[in-house]
Amino acid sequence: GFTYRHTAIDPTMIFTSAVLHGTSGDPAVILQEMQRIQSARGDTQPIREKTGGSTFANPDHDPQGRKSWQLVDAAGCRGLRVGGAQVSEKHCNFLINTGTATAADIENLGETVRRRVLETSGVELRWEIKRIGIPLEDQQS
């Protein structure tokens, strides 16, 4: 089965297609709801920027129940840059490619954010973005 961020399927598998089944409804009502959701997302997330989506998973065991973006913001990382990569000013759980970012820029920025969050809150953030290839920290050893 499937649950939030979990499946019994082998994690090395990559889905290339899927068939989804939904329930029928009034197309006008469905369109209105889709537009409402898209508008709300645009108000809070950098949807017009080049991002990999939400960068860090929300912590499972933060005693204060903080979300990743709150920890990143509290660590002073909003707007932080490494090369062509930047923590979004709009929603700081998104790393943005400002146009010249390399994979190393994104990884270095993400690891800097993780380190600062750990230092300021004691919470270790987990990457939510699936990184493919050899992680930067493994290349440096």
Q: Which of 17, 111, 128, 141 is catalytic?
A: 128
- Residue 116 known to be catalytic: no
Half-sphere exposure of 7 (CA within 13 A, CB side): 8
**DSSP assignment, residue 42?**
H
Residue 141 bears catalytic tag = no
Helix or strand (DSSP H, E) at 82: strand 81-82
Signed CA dihedral, 116, 121, 126, 128: sign only: negative
Distance in angstroms (rounded) separating the CA atoms of residues 8 and 5: 11
* CB distance 128 to 56 below 8 Å: yes
**Of 54, 66, 78, 81, catalytic:** 54
Alpha carbon distance 60, 16 (integer Å)? 29
**54 is annotated as an active-site residue:** yes
Catalytic residue IDs: 5, 54, 128
